[in-house]
Each structure stands twice: as structure tokens, then as C-alpha cells.
Amino acid sequence: MKITVCFDKLSPDPWVQGLQSALPQARVSAWSPGAAQADWAIVWTPPQQFIDEQPGLQALFNIGAGVDALLKLQLPPGLKVVRLDDAGMSVQMAEYVCHAVIRHFRELDGYDADAQAGKWSYRKPRSRSDFPVGVMGLGVLGQRVARALKVFDFPVNGYSRSPKQLDGVRCYAGPEALPAFLQASRVLVNLMPLTPETENILNHTTLSQLQKGGYVINVARGSHLVDEDLLSLIDSGHLAGAMLDVFRTEPLPAAHPFWQHPKISVTPHTSARTLREESIAQISGKILALQRGEPINGVVDPGRGY
């Protein structure tokens, strides 16, 4: 069994070593142009040349949950594309989103500013029933986030493409339910995949349907959000602010207004990082399962785009 590793802007060496130890019977190597045919590939934003030179692959394993960049390539029809299925990401996402929601709800930035000014000040406690959180995307990450928010007793709404039932979460499904979901939510957490249907979905029309004083947490993809619409709704006072982890252009350009905006917090696409050991264990387990002819989770449906 031959495994090739092809990463953009990331050293393949520790992955090659890790996969080799997990699958001693395999021959694992880093791809370079003209390399021999492999059976399985582990990739992160590979070039089209890689796909064109490896027509014999049985599956392509993406080392992230989002496959939007990969699906922009010309892939041979029928090639199995497999995404990471949690692999340690959902707990990171839950802690990031709970932090963002609690920091906003408890006005911790305000206390921080007061402390910087040496001011001992109290703010009136706010009621969490006034802060319903809407989680857009109830997949592997969104469900974990929704469950984590319930631990703090926030009212939680969920939105997905197909209907879902989740304990304690008011679930909405499909585009016709989107306005009701938004109107029922004050804090919005985006955890949808980037597809032609979801690109630019956080725009003036949708964001203005959030309850007054709304707050946006975007941890999915930058191209979900129309930047100018977010800025104008914050500046008009309809939205209270945002915490953003993902951007249309990454790294976020130095001149982008998000950096300096007093009501926007920026983090560098770090809310849920790929953990190498967990990912290697998951991918090698899936290669062995596929070899035995068993079904696996995390196979991407190219028609749906995720």
C-alpha cells in the first residue's frame, strides 16, 4: 500500500513519519512532481498538478473539516474525498464559541477597559434569556457547540439543511425557516460549510433579522460573511459586535477595518486546529476500514459540496 502526502505551506515530514508508524505495512512518502502512483493521499490544498498526476488514488483524505478549497479542483469523477470527522476539533470549537458568547454576555471587554483605567465598576447583570444563541450548521462541530452552550443555560436555536432533533435545542431547517431562526436569535454562531448555497449568507438581509443588539461569531469560512454589511450593521447600532476567526483573505490584510474596529475581535483562524496525532489515528483507521470494504464516516458528497 502506497500513501502520498501533499500539503501546501505545511511540512509533510511529521505526517509522513506519523503515518508510517501507524501503518508500518505501508510505504509513505511526501509527494513531489513526477512521484510514483500512490493508492491513498493525505492532502491540504494540493495543486491541480497533484490530482492530474495521481489518477489511481482510492481516496483523498483532507486534513481539515472544510473541503471547499479541495472541491474547487478538477477531481476525477468517483474519487472518494474524506474530511476530518472531529478528530479533536469539536472540543476546541466548543471552548472558543463558549468563550466568545460568555465574554460578550458578561461584558468582560467592558470590565477589562475599566480595569485598565483603574476603575472598580459594576454593570447590571443581564438575563441569559435575553441572549438566545443561534447555531447555524448542526454538523459535527455545530452539535457539540450547541450542547456546550446548553451547559451554561443559554437558550439555543439550531439551523441546518435537513431537519434535526437535539435535546434542548430549538431546531429550524431549510431556507424557508431561516428568517424565523434569525429572528429567534441574538447571538449568531456560523458553523456551516462553504458551498454555493452558503456563500455570502451572512449579509445585510440576514444579519438585520437578528434581534437588536445581535452579536456575530464566524468560525466557519470568511466568504460566508459580507464584510461591509457586518460593519454597517455594527456602526448603525443594530449589531453589538462580532468575534471573527475566518476571513475572505487570510492572513487578514493589514489595512482591513476589522483589525482596528473597537467592537470586533479578530483571531487568526485558530478556533479549531487540526491535531496531528488524532488525525493520523483517524485517517489510518479509515484506510484500513476501506481496505476491508467497510463503510466510513466523513465521506464528502460532491453534489452537496460538503
Give the footprint of ligand NAP on residues 199-228 (CB under 6 A): 219-221
User: CA–CA separation, 270 vs 278, rounded Å?
Assistant: 17
Residue 179 beta carbon to ligand NAP: minimum distance, rounded to whole angstroms? 13
Q: Phi then psi for 243, rounded to 5 degrees?
A: -125, 120
Q: Which amino acid is at 130?
A: D
Catalytic residue selected from 204, 221, 224, 248:
221
User: CA–CA separation, 113 vs 26, rounded Å?
Assistant: 56
User: Should residue 161 be labelled a site residue for ligand NAP when binding is judged by CB under 6 A?
Assistant: yes
269 catalytic, yes or no? yes
Partners of 80 in the β-ladder: 59
User: Should residue 197 be labelled a site residue for ligand NAP when binding is judged by CB under 6 A?
Assistant: yes
Residue 215 beta carbon to ligand NAP: minimum distance, rounded to whole angstroms? 17
User: Should residue 147 be labelled a site residue for ligand NAP when binding is judged by CB under 6 A?
Assistant: no
123 catalytic, yes or no? no
CB of 104 or CB of 221, closer to ligand NAP:
221
CB of 213 or CB of 302, closer to ligand NAP:
302
CB of 31 or CB of 247, closer to ligand NAP:
247
User: CA–CA separation, 173 vs 195, rounded Å?
Assistant: 17
For the chain, list the strands marked E by DSSP: 2-7, 27-30, 40-44, 59-62, 80-82, 133-136, 156-160, 169-173, 187-190, 214-218, 239-244, 264-266
Closest CA to 285 of 141, 82, 92: 82
Catalytic residue selected from 103, 106, 204, 269:
269
User: CA–CA separation, 222 vs 55, rounded Å?
Assistant: 32
User: Should residue 272 be labelled a site residue for ligand NAP when binding is judged by CB under 6 A?
Assistant: yes
User: Should residue 139 be labelled a site residue for ligand NAP when binding is judged by CB under 6 A?
Assistant: yes
Residue 270 beta carbon to ligand NAP: minimum distance, rounded to whole angstroms? 6
User: Should residue 245 be labelled a site residue for ligand NAP when binding is judged by CB under 6 A?
Assistant: yes
Quote the cell numbers at residue 29.
512518502
Q: Reduced to 3 DSSP states, what percent helix, strand and coil does the chain have, rounded to the nearest 5?
A: 35, 20, 45
User: Should residue 160 be labelled a site residue for ligand NAP when binding is judged by CB under 6 A?
Assistant: yes
Closest CA to 197 of 230, 158, 162, 238: 162
Give the footprint of ligand NAP on residues 75-94 (CB under 6 A): 89
Give the footprint of ligand NAP on residues 49-68 (CB under 6 A): 65-66
Residue 195 beta carbon to ligand NAP: minimum distance, rounded to whole angstroms? 6
- Which letter does DSSP use for residue 299 in this model? B
User: Should residue 250 be labelled a site residue for ligand NAP when binding is judged by CB under 6 A?
Assistant: no
Q: What is the SS3 assignment for 94?
A: helix
Using CB atoms, what's the residue nearest to ligand NAP?
A: 139
User: Should residue 100 be labelled a site residue for ligand NAP when binding is judged by CB under 6 A?
Assistant: no
Q: Which residues are catalytic?
A: 221, 269
Binding site for ligand NAP (CB under 6 A): 65-66, 89, 137-142, 159-162, 191-195, 197-198, 219-221, 245-246, 269, 271-272, 306
